[in-house]
């Protein structure tokens, strides 16, 4: 299917937007009126530019408050339309979006609306154009897809059809199932937008919080199936109003948008048809399938870029955690540190000194080449991986925050790149595996990151939580594979940080599992984070915990959470090392599946306190 | 009255918060549980720190989900409460906030709730403490102030009273008028928060969008009058959950908060009592009155700080606008430029080179000394005004964005500081007065700025509008004096700008009036901003304007707006000069009272286009 994007989805001037859409591989655009109005290019110049870029203009929009008016206003509206048809002819676009009227005086009269829309369609027809009528979720009289369809049927004009917008349909309570039964050829245009579930005014929800398919909570694959069942073969076109995307790099946003469509088409191609659709003949299945995401089996290693200042700090911290420096890279200043299945790589070959950073992490995949092929098909940038002769080949993808995601096979012998140091017989501290990585995301790319890890690596969105941290509100999204052997916690501040912010605004972390956190805590030989007594007093009061248990937690600085099902998390944080990194140790009991977010503010305040008092 | 602030209003660690509250002059705090839990200080250390800072702890909060439960849970809740009483004793606080339960299983049984709250009050009483029961607007069974009052009456316990929170009361439809009839002594605590009118889930509205009194749309003076009429004599305490304040400089936020209370008390002291209150005896009027804001009569002058690069650009622009360089400062590298009542000062004595900036603006006041006294009483920082012997004395206040606001008397001869150059017989371009200044505000201080200009200078909030600019969403707030001779447009981006942003992210501007914008446009000799033909095509279609009128507008690059009443704005923008400044010329017809925001995106795109094409 053809793929389009509304110019309103992305930031910048019209030139910025067209360039970004073309570079991301879109076939066409919806031209938003405001982008035309502020452009120094004439409509024919815009057409020319689009042609040069290989973009068609699939829709001109919007035309507002047309129907349900008195005769005088109708005449003015038709005159207004003629002017827009002239612009459309110059643009080379044949479909115009007419939104259901939001005018307070719009008449509650389907016959009147149908007859006036038919008159408009008649005018359009004379220009070889057509009218796509769309029910806005907040339309004055017409606010549901089935109502707009009744009016279009009543008007019965070949140049009048429907525009269906997934947001307007799925944000209302009217079931979308009947869409599959719309007369073939009468859906003129399909607009796609996802959104989180929010309890707010639908207009504000629509104007500020739409997302690309797969980033929100709507069932977009099911919706598109219904539309395809009705014989729709026009473009899949994104129309996403989002405050963050509107001010972010348009090139990045356009790629994120395209990735959402590729993933959507794959889901449609691979999903079994929904029940509602089976009842009607599926005329066409949207096509392109991706290589399926291979099963991931665990975190292979995590690499930190360190410099002369942060390197020694991290080495000392790893020693304190019971890690041993087991290998030295054959050709590079890179060290391997191990403890059971926990593997940390310290890479001193950094070019830009600064705080320690998770520069790469490797996951084990049952089919690394297929993982890479899937990533490429999803426009995930390949990472230049400098490989010396004899070194293991690691497929590498660049994540939205710039981190390299390496994909290894469980059988790969990437450790042969390292010469054994002979160390490794240290007793350790009982750390077993990597539980998850905590990756602070750039503000503009949080939703992009969620879609990236979901579509590229097949990590499911477990939960998104918001909490008040000492310096402002935070959002945390947990993603993981079904077996939970690969898990990430993506975090972002709800507002981009300003001048007054903590020195370590965006720490990253690695979390290890243990089977006995008290034993592990006793074995640690690194500086402790001091957890306030007030925390333990409150904990005892909140959960009604036995005194001796609380005393044990408190004496080791272990934090605690319990979910409503009774499963428990016991966890421990270290101070921040190397300027930006801390470690966490968790003991999950009875299937606790969150990331301990309720305790994140306690950790942040304790890390801040330590930084202030320990210098 | 005593003034308190909840620790949740401001950002940082507990130490940051206490320090900020004390510095801003608060008498006490509400200690939020989360701030205690993450603090390394023991409760008695917190008490000590507060005492040192001259702060009392007026309320401990919150205690949640207490009432309407079965016997087993009640026993646990009472046990939980005993632990909190122990903490409160150490803290030296005698009042605890108990919010109405939000637990899904909370029983719909007022007798049960009353009897359980009475049991809790009994326990509190034994410790010399008391319970302030508050109806959360989203409480499961109890969500209105009158319902909470019925339960407190039914419980009839001396240690049980009400906590009233203006947000919870005014966000609901139940009238607050009956509050004046609450039994004296039964309102234990009063929490104040303002908010904008928003159509959204009340919990989210409350948790993210509260504002300090005077920054939102609620009638706080009327509300406080009702509470005072009921004999309340406890503190006025702010409890404001706001995403921006939570991450902004706490010292600034605390001053903003204190200013809001000072202004509120002044409004209560000076306003005639509301009708509802007249019926009951007003036991006490909140006290402190401010010097009334003197009448402002106009913009006296606007000063730009310029350097060797921006100075020549601005001089050339002023010449092109028909200004004459009429005066040279006796002692400083400062020039006066004039045209009719429009006066611009170019100050080259800048210490930090950079783009031209509005460093100061002067307004004429009927009583400058009273203006200054009012500003001082409202904690508006005095600006150090270096004055040479023989120079005019100008009262100076620093606005939230750092701009100096100078207050002059219409009879002041501040121009005698300038030696006449002899110029001044230029014909000009018909500019008459300063219509308004456009001041881009720092993201963290937009609401602070609104309250500042309202309370300090007496400028009323006319309207706040949001619009989509090429690089993201913008918010614009117009404030003006009643005669409209002093008007400001305060703007801010809805999201703090990130890495992808226009070079001139926050331009400032000065807008001049003319009686004939076509004549003025013809007389200008500065580079024009090219307004797209598409804009005029759309304008004609939207407003049904005569062709020749549109041609006239188009030939001069004049933009147009019309409000529903038919009043019109014709206006003209210049390119950006000196890196950050542009000028606007307006002809307001038939009382047009907005600032032409619908055309701001057109202006932004045209300025961006010019910058790209003109180098």
Tell me the mean pLDDT in the region B415-437.
Answer: 91
Tell me the mean pLDDT in the region B12-38.
Answer: 97
- Name the residue among A384, A355, A314, A313 with its Cα closest to residue A503: A355
Q: Which of B37, B496, B533 sits opposite A535 (nearest CB)?
A: B37
In this complex, is the C-beta atom of B554 within 8 Å of any C-beta atom belonging to chain A? no
Q: Report chain B residues whose CB lies below 8 A from the CB of A495.
A: 243-244, 247, 495-496
In this complex, is the C-beta atom of A497 within 8 Å of any C-beta atom belonging to chain B? yes
Tell me the mean pLDDT in the region B306-325.
Answer: 96
Instruction: Report CB contact under 8 Å: A468, B42.
Output: no
Contact A526, A581 (CB under 8 A): no
User: Scanning the structure block, which residue is given the tokens 């207050």?
Assistant: B407
Q: Report chain A residues whose CB lies below 8 A from the CB of B34.
A: 468, 601
Longest dimension (CA), chain B: 91
pLDDT at B477 over 50: yes
Tokens of A124: 């359009």
Which pairs from A462-465 meet CB under 8 Å and 24+ separation?
Answer: A462/A593, A462/A594, A463/A594, A465/A594, A465/A597
In this complex, is the C-beta atom of B104 within 8 Å of any C-beta atom belonging to chain A? no
pLDDT in tens, A143-194: 999 999 999 999 999 999 999 999 999 999 899 999 999 999 999 999 999 9
Contact B116, B69 (CB under 8 A): yes
In this complex, is the C-beta atom of A44 within 8 Å of any C-beta atom belonging to chain B? no
Element (H or E) spanning B246, and its range? Answer: none
- Name the residue among B303, B200, B251, B212 with its Cα closest to residue B25: B251
Residue B591 DSSP SS3: coil
Q: Reading across the β-sheet that carries A581-589, which strands appear in turn? A: A460-469, A472-480, A487-493, A431-440, A508-514, A581-589, A568-573, A559-562
- Name the residue among A330, A97, A600, A179 with its Cα closest to residue B37: A600
Helix, strand, coil distribution of chain A in percent, nearest 5: 35, 25, 40
Side-chain-facing half-sphere of A444: CA atoms under 13 Å? 22
Instruction: Report CB contact under 8 Å: B42, A534.
Output: yes
Tokens of B388: 């040479």
- Name the residue among A516, A454, A464 with its Cα closest to residue A486: A454
Instruction: Report CB contact under 8 Å: B532, A37.
Output: yes
Strands (E), A306-385: 324-329, 334-339, 342-347, 357-365
Q: Which of B38, B76, B247 sits opposite A472 (nearest CB)?
A: B247
Closest CA of chain B from A34, distance in Å: 9
How far is residue A461's CA from residue A334's CA, in Å, rounded to a whole number?
A: 33
In this complex, is the C-beta atom of A48 within 8 Å of any C-beta atom belonging to chain B? no
Q: Which residue of A has its CA nearest to B598?
A: A34
Closest CA of chain B from A445, distance in Å: 11
pLDDT value of residue A173 = 87
Measured between its terminal Cα atoms, the distance across chain A in Å is 59
pLDDT confidence band for B283 (50 / 70 / 90): very low
Q: Which of B11, B43, B472 sits opposite A11 (nearest CB)?
A: B472
Question: For the purposes of burial, counting CB atoms within 10 Å of the CB of A150, is it exposed (0-12), middle (13-18) or buried (19 or more)?
Answer: middle
In this complex, is the C-beta atom of A535 within 8 Å of any C-beta atom belonging to chain B? yes
Q: Which of B470, B535, B541 sits opposite A84 (nearest CB)?
A: B541
Tokens of A467: 């909490």
Contact B467, B597 (CB under 8 A): yes
pLDDT in tens, B244-263: 999 999 999 999 999 999 99
What's the pTM?
0.95
pLDDT value of residue A279 = 43
How far is residue B10's CA from residue B245's CA, in Å, rounded to a whole number?
A: 6
Q: Phi and psi (nearest 5°) for A393?
A: -90, 125
In this complex, is the C-beta atom of B44 within 8 Å of any C-beta atom belonging to chain A? no
In this complex, is the C-beta atom of B33 within 8 Å of any C-beta atom belonging to chain A? yes
pLDDT in tens, B168-216: 999 998 999 999 999 999 999 999 999 999 999 999 999 999 999 999 9
Residue in B14, B20, B38, B201 to test binding to A, most A beta-carbons within 10 Å: B38
How far is residue B147's CA from residue B150's CA, in Å, rounded to a whole number?
A: 5
Contact B229, B283 (CB under 8 A): yes
How far is residue A510's CA from residue A573's CA, in Å, rounded to a whole number?
A: 10
Closest CA of chain B from A605, distance in Å: 6
Residues of chain A with pLDDT under 50: 276-284, 286
Instruction: Report CB contact under 8 Å: B530, A34.
Output: no
Q: Report chain B residues whose CB lies below 8 A from the CB of A542.
A: 80
Range 233-272 of A in CB contact (< 8 A) with B? 243-244, 246-250
Q: Report chain A residues whose CB lies below 8 A from the CB of B200.
A: 198-201, 204
pLDDT at B281 over 50: no
pLDDT value of residue B272 = 67
Question: For the purposes of burial, counting CB atoms within 10 Å of the CB of A527, is it exposed (0-12), middle (13-18) or buried (19 or more)?
Answer: middle
Going by C-beta distance under 8 Å and a sequence separation of 6 or more, which residues neighbour residue A162? A132, A133, A134, A145, A148, A149, A152, A182, A186, A187, A188, A189
Going by C-beta distance under 8 Å and a sequence separation of 6 or more, which residues neighbour residue B238? B4, B5, B6, B9, B191, B192, B193, B212, B213, B257, B260, B261
């Amino acid at each position: 299917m053809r793929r389009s994007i509304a110019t309103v989805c992305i930031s910048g001037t019209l030139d910025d937007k067209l360039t970004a859409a073309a570079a991301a591989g879109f076939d066409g655009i919806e031209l938003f009126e405001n982008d035309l109005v502020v452009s120094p290019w004439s409509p024919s110049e815009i057409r020319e530019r689009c042609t040069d870029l290989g973009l068609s203009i699939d829709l001109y929009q919007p035309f507002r408050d047309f129907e349900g008016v008195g005769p005088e206003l109708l005449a003015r509206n038709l005159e207004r339309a003629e002017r827009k048809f002239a612009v459309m002819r110059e643009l080379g676009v044949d479909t115009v979006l007419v939104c259901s009227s939001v005018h307070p005086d719009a008449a509650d009269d389907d016959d009147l609306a149908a007859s006036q829309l038919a008159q408009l369609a008649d005018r359009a027809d004379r220009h070889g154009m057509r009218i796509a009528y769309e029910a806005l979720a907040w339309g004055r009289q017409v606010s549901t897809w089935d109502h707009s369809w009744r009016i279009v049927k009543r008007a019965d004009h070949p140049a009048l059809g429907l525009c269906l917008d997934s947001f307007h349909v799925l944000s209302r309570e009217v079931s979308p199932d009947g869409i599959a039964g719309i007369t073939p050829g009468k859906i003129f245009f399909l607009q796609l937008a996802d959104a989180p579930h929010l309890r707010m005014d639908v207009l504000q929800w629509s104007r500020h919080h739409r997302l690309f398919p797969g980033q929100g909570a709507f069932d977009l694959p099911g919706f598109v199936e219904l539309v395809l069942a009705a014989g729709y073969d026009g473009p899949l076109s994104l129309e996403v109003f989002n405050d963050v995307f509107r001010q972010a790099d348009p090139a990045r946003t356009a790629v994120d948008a395209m990735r959402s469509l590729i993933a959507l088409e794959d889901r449609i191609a691979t999903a079994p048809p929904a029940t509602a659709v089976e009842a009607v003949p599926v005329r066409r299945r949207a096509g392109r399938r991706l290589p399926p995401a291979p099963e991931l089996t665990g975190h292979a290693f995590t690499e930190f870029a360190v410099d002369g200042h942060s390197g020694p700090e991290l080495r000392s911290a790893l020693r304190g955690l019971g890690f041993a420096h087991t290998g030295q890279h054959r050709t590079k200043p890179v060290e391997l540190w191990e403890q059971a299945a926990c593997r940390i790589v310290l890479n001193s070959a950094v070019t830009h000194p600064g705080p320690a950073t998770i520069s790469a992490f490797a996951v084990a995949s049952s089919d690394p080449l297929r993982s890479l092929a899937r990533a490429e098909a999803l426009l995930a940038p390949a990472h230049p991986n400098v490989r010396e002769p004899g070194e293991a080949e690691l497929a590498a993808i660049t994540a939205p925050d710039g981190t390299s995601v390496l994909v290894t096979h469980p059988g790969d012998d990437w450790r042969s790149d390292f010469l054994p140091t002979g160390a490794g017989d240290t007793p350790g501290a009982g750390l077993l595996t990597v539980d998850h990585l905590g990756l602070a995301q750039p503000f503009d790319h949080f939703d992009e990151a969620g879609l990236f890890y979901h579509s590229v690596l097949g990590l499911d969105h477990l939960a998104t939580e918001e909490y008040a941290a000492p310096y402002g509100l935070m959002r945390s999204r947990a993603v993981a594979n079904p077996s939970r052997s690969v898990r990430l916690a993506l975090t972002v501040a709800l507002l981009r940080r300003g001048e007054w912010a903590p020195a370590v605004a965006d720490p990253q972390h690695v979390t290890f599992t243990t089977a006995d956190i008290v034993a592990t805590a006793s074995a640690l030989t690194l500086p402790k984070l001091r957890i306030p007594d007030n925390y333990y007093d409150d904990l005892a009061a909140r959960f009604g915990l036995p005194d001796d248990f609380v005393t044990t937690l408190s004496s080791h600085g272990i934090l605690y959470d319990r979910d409503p099902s009774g499963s428990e998390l016991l966890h421990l944080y270290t101070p921040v090392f190397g300027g930006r990194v801390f470690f966490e140790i968790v003991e999950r009991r009875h299937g606790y599946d969150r990331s301990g977010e309720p305790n994140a503010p306690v950790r942040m305040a304790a890390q801040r306190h330590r930084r202030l008092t320990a210098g």
